[in-house]
Amino acid sequence: MKQKIKFAFHILFHPFDGFWDMKHERKGDLYVSLGIMLMVIVSNIFSRQATAFLFNPQKYANLDVVFEINKVLILFLLFCVSNWSITTLMGGEGTFKDIVMTTGYACLPLVIIPIPVAIISNLSSYYEQVYLTTANSVATLWFFALLFAGIMTIHNYSIGKMLGTIVITLVAMAALLFICLLFFNLFSQLIGFVYSIYKEIALRT
Amino acid sequence: MKKILASAVLCLLFCSWAFGVSAFVPYDTYTYSTRTGSVEALYSPTAYYPDFVIDKSLIGIPLVTPTCICFDKEGNMYITDNSANRLIVLNPDFSLKANLDTFETEDGMFEFLGGPEGVFVTDDMEIYLCDTKQKRILVLDQKYNIIRKYENIKPVGVENDEDYSFMPTRIVVDSSKNMYVLVQNEYQGIMQIDQNGKFISFLGSNKVTYDPITKLWKKIMTKEQKKQLIQFLPVEYTNLTMDHEGFIYTASKADNSSPIKRLNLAGKDVLIRNGYVDMVGDVKTSKTTEKVESLIAGVDSDENGQVYALDSNGGRIFVYNSEGFLLYAFGSIGNQIGSFITPSDIKVNNGLIFVADQGTARITVFRRTEYADLVTKANDLYYKGQYEESVNLWKQVIERNANFELAYAQIGKVYLRENRYKEAMEYFKLGNFRGDKITNTTGYNKAFIEYRRIQASKLLGPFVIVIVVLYIGYSFYKSRRKRTGKAANLQR
């Protein structure tokens, strides 16, 4: 177990090597990567609640845990599904499990940086704000770089093809989201329709 | 038994009397809160109640369409009645002083008014009257005789334009008798006219506002197409008044960014806007779904620098303090006393708010409740520098309205001044007042920096001692280990 967690940190600094090993040497672990995803949710909630008053306009707003979970989970699923569906068509070598694991491991900077930043923010004034925002943007950039390197490695893509795939993946994500919303909307209307028919009959008889 | 019954009836009576004050107010009073990170409108205690109305039953003659109110320094009230073509003058006790529809000139002729829309009285009691439809400004003396007339004044550039019509709607006059006139269909700004009736310049022209899509289209379109486009004109001013320091407050409709302006005599906007929300009347909250937009039809300020803005769209009155913090908002559209249909002007005198409404043909007079009295007093004391007294009053305000963020922020500011940093931080937090990022003169940030400095200097001594002790202990332990190690080596 310790080895597996250590491997996640190894990927942080050696993404190409690391993701190659993850796929081909079977060093990665699905549960560790899902655990990292879980930690992303925790760290999001933590930094929302624990960031100092000065930098946190929503400090005293109500926290919607379900919404916080959904925010991460939906994006995660959306990305994995659409990336998988695109890359299977475009000769990617990665399986769905690989994509899920890569995304999970790539999220590690979003856990290890924002949590200390949130704690340190309690000791900072506006003068130190620039360091905090820099740290957080480093986390985001790092995450994207890891994701990029990981997806590229597991599918064995060149950079040009990778960039193209990313664009198409984003389009696919939007399309998927649209279809989901449409489906939910239609479904809720259908339910409403059936319910109103039931009500009509129940009240008439 | 009888006693109980009697006391019960009395109690009921008392209750109805106690609730009566709030019962006949046809609107909710509210302020905006930003505590949760998004703007929310929260109920506040009733700040003003309609005290009485000025209409036929009070002054004996009907008001038809009151457009403009003005007070002179003695407290006499001047009302222009637009469609009845007359000027009504009331005594300070609101009894009729004069009902004027004809005016005598110096050479004994009589003049009539044509749809007068604006009136202003200077400190030396000259009455300036905008005779809108007859395209002139009349100046009356205290006996209401015409002493001067300004007719058909044209700005530079259109002197020879026969079609140009000078239709003044509102006027203010400064101490050197320069007139500042709003003219119908004049988009270039406020006309500044000197004592001799000569045009000087335009003051504070509003900027043209495009939406971004139109801007994009304009880039693509050819010259011919551009010509066919509707002409985009700057937003027209709707009202203006002069405050006690000689600045001109203006109101303009349909200007999202700054419908309320305070212009100095160079035409620069010097209004302080430090408030939690923009000074635009109603703002979008997290709960409203449709767009709310106030149309500021009138604005006035009192001797404490509080700004009173009238919103003709929602029939509301917004009261801001001199730094631009919203104190309370109230009012509604309707026929009841206290509501308006098409309000056109607002003036403040002796703490009373006067709102002229053309739709209901009356002037409603609002009086402060105990709550608003407290807020005003606390606010006033704070800006006069009597901080300790103001803290007590703000605390009383909080007892009545715990949602009022400004009260917490002001208490925090006082505590910060008194170097009570911890309490200041507490109150700034409650008041959601972080302070300016650049100037760093007040607010939570400032209090926090000071508090942190003190805590750090307190902790620094023990911290250094602990570090030194740890270091000495560690090196001692190390040398001991080295020696024993050596000894072990030697032994081997």
List, for residues A12-27, the tens digit of each pLDDT value.
999 999 999 888 888 8
Beta carbons of A53 and B38 less than 8 Å apart: no
Contacts of B361 (CB under 8 A, 6+ apart): B55, B62, B63, B64, B65, B66
Global pTM reads: 0.82
Of B34, B36, B444, the CB nearest to A54: B444
Q: Which residues 6+ apart lie within 8 Å of B314 measured at CB?
A: B281, B282, B292, B294, B331, B332, B333
pLDDT above 80 (res A184): yes
Cβ–Cβ under 8 Å, residues B399 and B408: no
Determine which of A62, A126, A133 to mutate to test the interface with B (most B C-beta atoms within 10 Å). A126
Check if B429 contacts A (Cβ < 8 Å): yes
Name the residue in chain A with its Cα closest to that of B438: A126
For residues B157 and B140, give the distance between their C-alpha atoms in angstroms, rounded to a whole number.
30
Instruction: Please write the tens of the pLDDT for every residue from A147-161.
Output: 999 999 999 999 999
For A54, the closest chain B residue by CA position comes to B434
Residue A58 — pLDDT band, cuts 50, 70, 90?
Answer: confident
Residue of B33, B34, B36 best to disrupt the A interface, most CBs of A under 10 A: B36
Residue of B nearest to A58 (CA): B37
Chain B positions in Cβ-Cβ contact with residue A58 (cut-off 8 Å): 36-37
Residues ≥6 apart with Cβ < 8 Å to B375 = B47, B327, B328, B397, B404, B407
> B486-492 contacts: CB < 8 A, separation 24 or more?
none
Q: Do A58 and B444 touch (CB under 8 A)?
A: no
Closest B-chain CA to A53: B429
CB contact under 8 A, B449 and A123: no
- Characterize B272-295 residue by residue with b for buried, 16 or more Cβ atoms within 10 angstroms of its Cβ, and e for exposed: ebebbbbbbbbbbbeeeeeebbbb
H or E element, residue A39? helix A30-50
In contact, B86 and B112? CB cutoff 8 Å: no
The answer to whether B37 faces chain A, any CB pair under 8 Å, is: yes
Tell me which DSSP letter residue B204 carries: S
Give the number of A-B residue pairs with CB atoms closer than 8 Å.
31
pLDDT at A90 over 70: yes
The per-residue pLDDT string of chain B (492 residues; one tens digit each, 9 = 90 and over) reads 556 556 655 555 454 444 444 447 889 999 998 888 888 889 999 999 999 999 888 888 888 999 999 999 899 999 999 888 999 999 999 999 989 888 888 888 888 888 899 999 998 899 999 998 888 999 999 888 898 889 888 888 777 777 788 899 999 999 888 999 998 888 888 889 999 888 888 887 766 666 777 777 777 777 777 776 666 666 778 899 998 888 999 998 765 578 899 998 888 888 888 888 888 888 888 777 666 788 899 999 998 889 999 999 889 999 999 989 999 999 999 988 889 999 999 999 988 999 999 999 999 999 999 999 999 999 999 989 899 999 999 999 999 999 899 999 999 999 999 999 999 999 999 999 988 777 778 889 999 999 999 999 999 888 899 999 999 999 989 888 877 766 666 665
A53 interfacial to chain B (CB closer than 8 Å): yes
Residue A133 contacts B, CB cutoff 8 Å:
no
Q: How far apart are the C-alpha atoms of A177 and B305, rounded to whole Å?
A: 53
What distance in Å separates residue A124's CA from the closest CA in chain B? 8
Contacts of B434 in chain A (CB under 8 A): 53-54, 126
Q: Is residue B454 less than 8 Å (CB to CB) from chain A?
A: no
In the prediction, which pLDDT does B481 show? Answer: 81
Chain A hits for B427, Cβ within 8 Å: none
Contact check, Cβ <8 Å, A123/B445: no
Which of B35, B38, B449 shows the shortest C-beta gap to A125?
Answer: B449
The H-or-E segment that residue B365 falls in is strand B362-368
Q: Is B430 helix (H, G, I), strand (E, B) or coil?
A: helix
- Tell me the per-residue pLDDT of B63-105, one tens digit each, with 9 for 90 and over: 899 999 999 989 999 999 988 899 999 999 999 998 988 888 8
Domain edges within chain B: 25-368, 369-492
Cβ neighbours, 10 Å, residue B306: 20
Residues of A in contact with B445 (CB under 8 A): 54, 125-126
Interface check for B451 against chain A (CB to CB < 8 A): the answer is: no
Domain boundaries, chain A: 2-204
Q: What is the pLDDT of residue B17?
A: 46
B37 vs A58, A126, A129: nearest CB: A58
CB pair distance less than 8 Å for B440 and A126: yes
Measured between beta carbons, the chain A residues lying within 8 angstroms of B38 are 61
Q: Which of 59-88 (A) contact B at CB < 8 A?
A: 59-62
Task: Please answer yes or no on whether A54 and B448 come within 8 Å at the CB atom.
Answer: yes
CB contact (8 A) between residue B434 and residue A53: yes
Q: To the nearest whole angstrom, how far is the Cα of B490 from the nearest Cα of chain A?
A: 40
What secondary structure does DSSP assign to A98-131, as a single string? Answer: HHHHHHHHHTTHHHHTHHHHHHHHTT--GGGHHH
ipTM above 0.90, yes or no: no
Tell me the CA distances in angstroms from B423 to B394, B428, B429, B458, one per residue in order: 15, 9, 10, 18
**HSE (side-chain half, CA atoms, 13 Å) at B209:** 11
Q: Which residue of B has its CA nearest to A63?
A: B36
Q: How far is B448 from chain A (nearest CA, A)?
A: 7
Number of CB atoms found within 10 A of residue B309's CB: 27
Of B32, B28, B48, residue with least CA distance to B40: B32
Per-residue confidence (pLDDT) for residue B154, from 0 to 100: 85
Chain A residues with CB-CB distance to B437 below 8 A: 126, 129
Does the beta-carbon distance from B452 to A57 stay under 8 Å?
Answer: no
Note whether A184 contacts B: Cβ–Cβ < 8 A: no
For domain B369-492, the question of CATH label 3.40.50.150 is answered with: no
B452 neighbourhood in chain A, CB within 8 Å: 123, 125
Q: What is the pLDDT of residue B2?
A: 58
Q: What is the mean pLDDT of residues A65-89?
A: 93
Within 8 A by CB and 6+ apart from B218, the residues are B210, B226, B229
Q: What are phi and psi of B199, to 5 degrees?
A: -70, 130
Residue A115 has pLDDT above 90, yes or no: yes
Do B38 and A61 count as a contact with CB atoms less than 8 A apart? Answer: yes
Tokens read off for A142: 């790092």
Same fold, B25-368 and B369-492: no
Residue B437: which of A53, A61, A126 has the nearest Cβ?
A126
Nearest to B144 by CA among B168, B110, B96: B110
Who's near B465: CB < 8 A, 6+ residues apart? none
Residues of B in contact with A122 (CB under 8 A): none
Task: Measure the CA angle with vertex A200, ends A196 and A203; round to 5°.
Answer: 130
**Quick one: fold of B25-368?**
Neuraminidase (2.120.10)
- Collapsing DSSP to helix, strand or coil, A48 comes out as helix
Question: Which A residues in the span 185-204 are in contact with B, Cβ-Cβ below 8 Å?
Answer: none
Tell me the three state secondary structure of residue A33. Answer: helix
Q: How far is B461 from chain A (nearest CA, A)?
A: 19
End-to-end CA distance of chain B: 110
What residue in B sits closest to A127 (Cα-Cα)? B437
By 3-state DSSP, what share of chain B in percent is helix, strand and coil, each rounded to 5? 30, 30, 40
A134 CA: distance to closest CA in chain B (Å):
17
Q: What is the pLDDT of residues A118-177, one digit of tens each?
A: 999 999 988 899 999 999 999 999 999 999 999 999 999 999 999 999 999 999 999 999
Question: Mean pLDDT of all residues in chain A?
Answer: 92
Residue with structure tokens 């993404």?
A15
Report the C-alpha gap between B175 and A36 in whole angstroms. 72
> What's the confidence (pLDDT) of residue B492?
57
